[in-house]
Structure 1
Amino acid sequence: MLRKILTRFLRPYWLLLLGVVVFQVLQSIASLLLPNINGDIINNGVAKGDAGYILGRGLLMLLITLGQAACSIMAVYFGARTAMSFGRDLRGAIFHRVGEFSEREVAKFGAPSLITRTTNDVQQVQMLVLMTCTLLVSAPILSIGGIIAAVNEDATLSWIIVVAVPALLIGVGLIITRMVPQFRKMQKRIDAVNRVLREQLTGIRVVRAFVREPVEVARFDDANAAVTETALKAGRLFALMFPFVMLVLNLSSVAVLWFGAVRVDDGDLEVGSLTAFLLYLAQILMAVMMATFMAVILPRASVSADRIGEVLETEPSVRPPQAPVTTLRMHGQVELRAAGFSYPGADQPVLHAISFTARPGTVTAIIGSTGSGKSTLVNLLPRLFDATAGEVLVDGEDVRDIEPDLLWSRIGLIPQKAYLFSGTVASNLRYGNPDATDDELWEALEIAQGAEFVRAMPEQLQAPIAQGGTNVSGGQRQRIAIARALVKRPEIYVFDDSFSALDTATDARLRAALDREVGDATRIVVAQRVSTILDADQIVVLEHGRIVGIGTHDELLHSSEEYAEIVASQLSIEEAA
């Protein structure tokens, strides 16, 4: 998966990668030249006392060093540009794929995990790209070139390299194999921390209302401790790596000096050549160390790439049509023909053979006990889910065949949990229609019974709204959400229990305003309170995902036992109050 992601997202930046390779090669060649020149200065300059030779070769070393520094800067620049562009494109691809997901796929991964995969996991792969650009090209050149140059200086001492390099690779390999499982655990435990933190921040009111702060602190501490424990295990293994590398390097250097001194004393090796061999040995081992550093990053990046690949390769269950319908003949008629829905692997469908028609200018209410499938049913209209059986038609066309933008332009959905975005009242209202004027916003607020409290705010339409609308009450949040749909002026309104936070008087005024202002539209209302749907043109009663009654309020009182029980239970509560 890692190779697939790198190939796909690095392909547009092959010119930058070529620049990285060119400058890394030049930098590596310069590094290989310097020890040889240094040894030459010792052998032919210092030993003979030739100051001019020393000065000339020293100047050459200075120029090569300056060129090496320039190449290093350019290589890092191109590498950073490549890595940052790669990360941007990868995050964008994940975001766009998640944007295509239906609620089924979002629930499968979970919001905290999707956030981690878009941020932390991308960062791990991005770091691999950066390190690859800055280290991986030069490491093999320095190691292979260093071995050749060292053998050229003195073949007899080369046995030290033959011993040192495999010892280094074996030791580091053992450490890395123990680190990989820890990295896999770490990413999952980061997901857990994000999940707990997100739950606590989102549900802070509930936490405080039930005085559960100590419990939630303990939950977070447990999740945090799990991440810390895994990070410490990986860190301890990582901490062994550099001391081991330095041990091999120092022992190898001691061996070179020990055995090289004997050869110098015997006259078989010059001091300059011994110095150059020692420098080449250091380069070889440092190159191997750089490669092992890559090997440390690679396992975690591989784990992250697998998690990213799961998102990118998950096909949305709601797919755009191959030959979409781009025009609709009618104006807001909704029809369900034996529609059903079931989750993959579920024992029982959520909805069974749902059939009814909602026509323009009418109100269709849906009522039923908790878990009867009301929200799932209305989510089939805008294709938040796709029906797994039967058909869902809008204006005579199956919603799966309609061009998505055209379908969504016909439907205004006010979800069960009204969600507002960080910004202002105006920015939230213009979410469905960016070109709406202030007058249109106020008109929508008047219909939604929200103009009064918005006018009471100091900034009115420019009043700030916190993420999720947490700085306004539940009823205010619902009215802004209703106004947002009204600004869009769709032909079909779907109210998914959108009046639940409103008092009875506000509910009645809002329904009267809707009758007056959008009476020609198709309105589908999911409700818990019977008083909200008494005047509906038809009421659909759901029980365990099946229609057990359909008709007006008066008809259902006599024909549907389930509806009569709902009415009786609510009336008894009201009378008791």
Structure 2
Amino acid sequence: MYKTLAKSLRQYVKPSVLTMIFLAGEVFAEMLLPFLMAKVLDQGFEQKDIHYIIQIGLMMCVIALISMTFGILGGKYSSDASAGFAANLREDIYKNIQTFSFENIDRFSTPSLITRLTTDITNIQFAFQMVLKTVIRAPFMIVFAFLMAAYTNWRLSLIILVVIPILGAALIGIVFKVHPYFVKVFRQYDHLNQTVQEVINGVRVVKSFVREEKEIERFHDASDKIKQVFMKAEKIIALNSPVMQLAIYSSLLAVYWFGAKFVVSGAMSAGSLTSFIMYMMQILSSLMMFSMIFVMIVISEASCERVAAVLTENSTLTNPEHAVEQLADGSIEFKNVSFKYYPEAEEADLANIDLQIASGETIGIIGGTGSGKSSLIQLIPRLYDVTEGEVFVGGRNVKEYDLVTLRDQIAMVLQKNTLFSGTILENLRWGDATATLSEVRRMAQLAQADQFVTTFPEQYDTVLDQGGTNVSGGQKQRLTIARALLKKPKILILDDSTSAVDTKTDAKIRQAFSEEIPNTTKIIVAQRVSSIQDADKIIVMDEGKINGIGTHEELLANNQIYREVYESQVKGGRISEE
């Protein structure tokens, strides 16, 4: 886990090393101060040598100044290293997420990935900065201070040897007890983020159903669960402070008691006792620092595990060794394909699919909710891999293609239309970053989007809110279709992406497809029969299987499901005369 995270240090290895060097220098300088203080007390004051006192005093000032300089530089480099490390971690995680298949994303969930990119990495950043400051300073301080203390009086130093193992055992016990709580609390953070994300994305629905109070209550419940778990963890961590204080005060009392006896008996000078106590305080303060970083590490360990899990996750979809980098045409073939979203599921989401689509054909797909329409088309650009069977595009198995090559030749407009914050022009150029304004307008005209875009004061420079919330559902669908057309794909897939436009506009879009991109294979998933009735072939899906294939007239005559859908829409007034 830690080895995985360490790979993200990269250019910040040098600042990390410099931090440790400067802090080691700070410790070494601090070690000299008690030793020199003993000299002042035992020789300067006893012999009343002012010149010696001033000489040693100036030396102590210089050493203190050096120690402070090293401390400042160590603090600076530790801040640079920790902030840079966190930035690299975010970048590495985000890059790896971009390689994820839908299956990988489903495994983690979107809210969980957001928590790992934010809360978890912030925890790691703070812990790393604390570790940098203590990984050299505290051990060096303890070792050097102990050696100097032992040099001053080896018998008193035995007290330290008794205290440290007891303290270490107590801290280890706290870690094992508290770690499971922090693993649990970050799962609760995932749930909280999911709640927030759902409510913010669906704020219009929340308000239309007057669910504000209910959603506030749901957020309160999620937040309260985090509080409860944190409180349980903090009760255990709180034991750290009294354990440390007990160790410090007990050892100090023992040093005062035995040290006073040594001074009275003449076995130890007052200056030596003073320097020993200073070394003792340095050791105990380092132990206190250790205990604080210990708590930070305990809190961040769960975060480290969660971040490392994302970094080490490999996409379930990979390129073959000698990937095909050219798509011959837009032909599609399914050979005995079965598919499950979850391998452990008893029933397949798609079963025994055999289908052939010629390049340039227009194919309609219709079926009830959950019939497998979306599952079927997502296998074409290899958003998921088949569980059984094979999918061919352009005469080659989709697993043989370079993923970028395959997906670059397949334009897909999903059910959930997504536009990003930015101008309309920037959004449409997702299809082709080098497209000119005239090319963009041409594709927008084909998608029946240019007409409403030109009514905006800024036209194609109109800024869209996140998710395109400042345009209507139908406008959003037409913009995403225009974006897909700009790719000039060999295969165009529309997954119920004209459901929010009127039948007249829908007909114009289909007519434009027929006239302007005749050689592009077009797959139209729809709920309206009118959207697909002119297709070369119509596929009727039912419970993950193909129930029927044929033209509109053939299916009306031979397929009960299609006929029922058609008749229900005719009676409901949904089939218009076009």
Question: Could you say which TM-score interval applies, normalised by the shorter chain?
Answer: over 0.9
Aligned to 1:337: 335
Aligned to 1:550: 549
Aligned to 2:19: 20
Q: How does 1:106-255 map to 2 (within 5 A)?
A: 106-255=105-254
Q: 1:29 to 1:15 in 2, by over 3 A?
A: same
Aligned to 2:276: 277
C-alpha distance in structure 2 between counterparts of 1:174 and 1:491, whole Å = 63
Contact preservation (8 Å) 2:331, 2:360: no
Aligned to 1:363: 362
Deviates more, 1:555-564 or 1:528-537: 555-564
SS at match of 1:574: coil
Deviations 1:379-435 (A, max 9, x none): 111111112222222211111111222212211111111010111111100112111
Count of matched residue pairs: 575
Aligned to 1:474: 473
C-alpha distance in structure 2 between counterparts of 1:124 and 1:529, whole Å = 51
Deviates more, 1:182-191 or 1:426-435: 182-191
One-letter amino acid of the structure 2 residue matched with residue 310 of structure 1:
A
Deviations 1:362-387 (A, max 9, x none): 21011111101100111111111112
SS at match of 2:355: strand
C-alpha distance in structure 1 between counterparts of 2:257 and 2:290, whole Å = 28
Displacement of 1:358:
2.5
C-alpha distance in structure 1 between counterparts of 2:142 and 2:63, whole Å = 19
Contact preservation (8 Å) 2:496, 2:526: yes
Say if 2:517 is the partner of 1:521.
no
Deviates more, 1:291-300 or 1:257-266: 257-266
Deviates more, 1:271-280 or 1:86-95: 86-95
Q: 1:445 to 1:576 in 2, by over 3 A?
A: closer
Displacement of 1:21:
2.9
Displacement of 1:59:
1.2
C-alpha distance in structure 2 between counterparts of 1:169 and 1:204, whole Å = 51
Say if 2:554 is the partner of 1:566.
no
C-alpha distance in structure 1 between counterparts of 2:527 and 2:456, whole Å = 31
Displacement of 1:252:
3.0
Contact preservation (8 Å) 1:157, 1:260: yes
Aligned to 1:311: 310
C-alpha distance in structure 2 between counterparts of 1:179 and 1:387, whole Å = 43
Deviations 1:243-280 (A, max 9, x none): 54344324433433333233323322211111101110
Deviations 1:339-374 (A, max 9, x none): 221231111111122222323332101111110110
Deviations 1:201-230 (A, max 9, x none): 111122122222121111100001111222
C-alpha distance in structure 2 between counterparts of 1:495 and 1:576, whole Å = 20
One-letter amino acid of the structure 2 residue matched with residue 284 of structure 1:
I
Deviates more, 1:180-189 or 1:232-241: 232-241
Aligned to 1:404: 403
Displacement of 1:240:
4.3
C-alpha distance in structure 2 between counterparts of 1:17 and 1:104, whole Å = 37
Deviates more, 1:156-165 or 1:505-514: 156-165
SS at match of 1:337: strand
One-letter amino acid of the structure 2 residue matched with residue 445 of structure 1:
A
What's the TM-score, normalizing by structure 1? 0.95
Say if 2:530 is the partner of 1:541.
no
C-alpha distance in structure 1 between counterparts of 2:390 and 2:255, whole Å = 81
Aligned to 2:391: 392
One-letter amino acid of the structure 2 residue matched with residue 196 of structure 1:
T
Deviates more, 1:531-540 or 1:10-19: 10-19
CA RMSD of aligned residues (A): 2.0
Aligned to 2:31: 32
- Structure 1, unmatched stretches of 5+, are none
Deviations 1:452-501 (A, max 9, x none): 22122221111111111122111111111111111222121100001111
Deviates more, 1:514-523 or 1:31-40: 514-523
C-alpha distance in structure 2 between counterparts of 1:443 and 1:530, whole Å = 28
Deviates more, 1:392-401 or 1:121-130: 121-130
One-letter amino acid of the structure 2 residue matched with residue 144 of structure 1:
V
One-letter amino acid of the structure 2 residue matched with residue 510 of structure 1:
I
One-letter amino acid of the structure 2 residue matched with residue 289 of structure 1:
M
C-alpha distance in structure 2 between counterparts of 1:389 and 1:15, whole Å = 51
C-alpha distance in structure 1 between counterparts of 2:511 and 2:205, whole Å = 34
Deviations 1:3-49 (A, max 9, x none): 33244334665444432332222221112111111111111112222
Deviates more, 1:475-484 or 1:165-174: 165-174
Aligned to 1:415: 414
Deviates more, 1:566-575 or 1:203-212: 566-575
C-alpha distance in structure 1 between counterparts of 2:64 and 2:130, whole Å = 22
C-alpha distance in structure 2 between counterparts of 1:87 and 1:133, whole Å = 14
Deviations 1:29-74 (A, max 9, x none): 1121111111111111122221111111111111111211222222
Deviations 1:519-565 (A, max 9, x none): 22110100110011110000011111111111100011112122112
Aligned to 2:440: 441
Say if 2:65 is the partner of 1:48.
no
C-alpha distance in structure 1 between counterparts of 2:258 and 2:329, whole Å = 93
Aligned to 1:348: 347
SS at match of 2:538: strand
Deviates more, 1:316-325 or 1:527-536: 316-325
C-alpha distance in structure 2 between counterparts of 1:191 and 1:444, whole Å = 40
Say if 2:520 is the partner of 1:490.
no
C-alpha distance in structure 2 between counterparts of 1:509 and 1:11, whole Å = 55
Deviates more, 1:477-486 or 1:226-235: 226-235
Contact preservation (8 Å) 1:136, 1:294: no
Deviates more, 1:106-115 or 1:93-102: 93-102
Of all paired residues, the percent bearing the same amino acid is 38
C-alpha distance in structure 2 between counterparts of 1:370 and 1:297, whole Å = 49
Deviations 1:291-317 (A, max 9, x none): 222221222222112222322333322
Aligned to 2:71: 72
Displacement of 1:167:
4.1
Contact preservation (8 Å) 1:358, 1:524: no
Q: 1:42 to 1:6 in 2, by over 3 A?
A: farther
